[in-house]
Amino acid sequence: MSDLHDPRVLFAAERTLLAWNRTSVSLMAFGFVVERFGLFLNVLGKKGIILLEREISFYIGLTFIVLSILLSFFSIMQHRNVVTSLQPAEIPKGYNLWGAAIVNGIVGILGIVIVCYIYYGFRG
């Protein structure tokens, strides 16, 4: 990737991966809030909340969560591409290259669990 032979390139790639992780978690949280918004209005006793409006917030929220899952796994692939293109001199000896990627993978898997929980809770 570069001829700098400088580990700062690796650390910049890792910071970028963690920034994508924060974005993914934020989208997941926002999707959960949007998904629960229709239920919140229903609990408040808002008259006129029909099933269609509840389903709209459900599917929009679910879409945000699925987007966060895709973003989490896409960022892992991007990070892998950067890391595999680095020179050996750019990687500090004994440094774990995949710690942040594993965290992103766990976030993605937990997102899948949340989608299943929400979807089957709504439909069940």
**pLDDT per residue over 2-32, tens digit each?**
566 788 889 999 999 999 999 999 999 999 9
**pLDDT per residue over 28-61, tens digit each?**
999 999 988 877 777 776 666 666 777 888 899 9
User: Integer distance in angstroms from the first to the last C-alpha of the chain?
Assistant: 50
Q: Are 118 and 63 in contact (CB under 8 A)?
A: no
Q: Mean pLDDT across the stretch 88-114?
A: 93
Domain boundaries, the chain: 8-123
CA distance 109 to 104: 9
Distances 102 to 21, 67, 73, 108 between C-alpha atoms, Å: 11, 19, 10, 10
Determine the residue type at 66.
V
Q: Are 65 and 118 in contact (CB under 8 A)?
A: yes
Among the residues of 44-98, which ranges form H helices? 51-84
